[in-house]
């Protein structure tokens, strides 16, 4: 078993050598504070590794390191995976406790979503509104709309009263179907800050005509103010109209990153995915309902609003290629690429003519 266990010094060297390296945090989700900080390995709890590692690590030959809580589960799993023809899986000796104590723990792959968003806010000076200001605007009858950019299940648990559910990558695709006027002030909310900042700055970068700001601390601030949050799914997007798609195509082309990402065809994507010498992730950034209705074999559902803020939740292999799959409008893929490119991935985009009827059926079923 010793050849399947590496020490922190070896691991640190692997992190710096520039070759592909997959890192899996196999602690239970409640132990993986901040999705694997300080290392940002993709969290795949030990009891799910054997069944789900193919999704997290698409290429079996890639060097893979399992990091546990210091309980020996990584070594057990490495042995089990070797027996299942995973030839290059290793466990980190002593797991996270040993890594943190080693002095090498400053090395990382990703940054916290909060830190990433704050960096964007400082760079772009993204406008902000407090919950008190929002409430005052509503009491005055001003034309203001709150958009919650979290996932639909998160929105359903609780949200600022009157907010509309539009996950982050869907903003430009659904914008004119939800926002009644170019004069409407749009305030983007989430549970705290990260997705609200990125959502607001997405709209600003795309040049929407509306005044846009993010809601400072979102639902957390609303609760601290002593006000009740709303529950359920009273207001969410529906199937995108042709008018809204046209608006989205026009405005996504205004990103500073427009034209930077190559487009590939399905044959190329399949060739890349089967390449024995390079890892490629085929990530479908449409809604989970659309993915369930129709998908490209071998692709994974990776809802765009989640992917753009913290890539390590999905992409375990450092140095991998990332193919973002979308419908032929590519509004969501280009939104995700706009932010994901700041994390230094090699990104390509695959347009695919998914059946519009299937997408609409999926959206209606979710609603």
Residues 59-112 have pLDDT tens digits of 999 999 999 999 999 999 999 999 999 999 999 999 999 998 998 876 666 666
- In this structure, what CATH number is given to the domain that contains residue 70? 3.40.250.10
Do 89 and 118 sit in the same domain of this protein?
A: no
Last residue of a domain, one of 252, 281, 304: 252
Read off the pLDDT of each residue in 159-182 and give the average, rounded to a whole number: 96
Residue 260: inside a domain: no
31 band by pLDDT with thresholds 50, 70 and 90: confident
Identify the bridge partners of residue 230 per DSSP, sorted by sequence position. Answer: 159
Do 216 and 330 sit in the same domain of this protein?
A: no
Could you list the residue range(s) of the whole structural domain that residue 275 is in? 266-366
Do 212 and 275 sit in the same domain of this protein?
A: no
Rounded to two decimals, the pTM is 0.90
Residues 83 and 342: beta-carbon distance below 8 Å: no
pLDDT at 32: 64
Alpha helices in the chain (DSSP H): 8-16, 46-56, 73-83, 95-102, 113-124, 131-139, 152-157, 171-178, 194-205, 218-224, 242-252, 266-273, 288-293, 304-307, 331-340, 356-366
Do 302 and 330 sit in the same domain of this protein?
A: yes
Do 168 and 242 sit in the same domain of this protein?
A: yes
Do 65 and 138 sit in the same domain of this protein?
A: no
pLDDT at 310: 72
Choice between 41 and 44, residue whose per-residue pLDDT is larger: 44
Last residue of a domain, one of 79, 109, 139: 109
Average pLDDT, the chain: 91
User: Considering its fold, how many domains does the chain have in total?
Assistant: 3
Residue 323: inside a domain: yes
First to last CA, the chain: 51
Read off the pLDDT of each residue in 345-360 and give the average, rounded to a whole number: 81
């Amino acid at each position: 078993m010793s050849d399947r266990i590496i020490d922190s010094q070896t691991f640190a060297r692997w992190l710096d050598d520039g070759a592909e390296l997959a890192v899996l945090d196999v602690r239970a989700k409640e132990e993986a504070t901040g999705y694997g900080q300080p290392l940002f390995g993709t969290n795949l709890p030990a009891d799910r590794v054997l069944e789900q590692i193919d999704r997290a690590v698409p290429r079996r030959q890639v060097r893979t390191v399992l990091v546990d809580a210091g309980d020996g589960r990584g070594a057990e799993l490495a042995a089990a995976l070797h027996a299942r023809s995973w030839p290059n899986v290793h466990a980190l000796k002593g797991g996270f406790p040993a890594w943190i104590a080693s002095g090498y723990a400053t090395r990382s792959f990703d940054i916290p979503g909060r830190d990433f968003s704050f960096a964007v806010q400082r760079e772009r000076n993204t406008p902000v509104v407090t919950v008190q200001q929002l409430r005052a605007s509503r009491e005055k009858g001003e034309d203001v709309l709150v958009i919650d950019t979290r996932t639909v299940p998160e929105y359903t648990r609780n949200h600022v009263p009157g907010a509309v559910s539009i996950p982050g990558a869907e903003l430009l695709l659904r914008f004119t179907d939800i926002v009644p006027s170019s004069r409407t002030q749009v305030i983007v909310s989430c549970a705290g800050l990260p997705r609200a900042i990125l959502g607001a700055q997405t709209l600003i970068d795309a040049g929407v005509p509306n005044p846009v700001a993010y809601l400072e601390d979102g639902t957390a601030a609303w609760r601290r103010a002593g006000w009740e949050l709303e529950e359920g799914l009273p207001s969410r997007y529906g199937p995108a109209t042709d008018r809204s798609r046209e608006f989205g195509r026009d405005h996504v082309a205004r990103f500073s990153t427009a034209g930077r990402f190559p487009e590939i065809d399905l044959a190329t994507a399949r060739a890349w995915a089967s390449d024995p010498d390079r890892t490629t992730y085929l990530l479908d950034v449409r809604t989970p309902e659309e993915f369930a209705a129709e998908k490209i074999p071998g692709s994974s559902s990776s809802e765009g609003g989640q992917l753009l803020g913290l890539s390590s939740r999905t992409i375990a292999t450092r140095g991998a290629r990332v193919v973002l799959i979308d419908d032929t409008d590519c509004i969501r893929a280009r939104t995700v690429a706009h932010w994901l490119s700041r994390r230094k991935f090699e990104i390509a985009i695959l347009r695919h003519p998914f059946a519009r009827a299937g997408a609409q059926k999926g959206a209606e079923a979710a609603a």
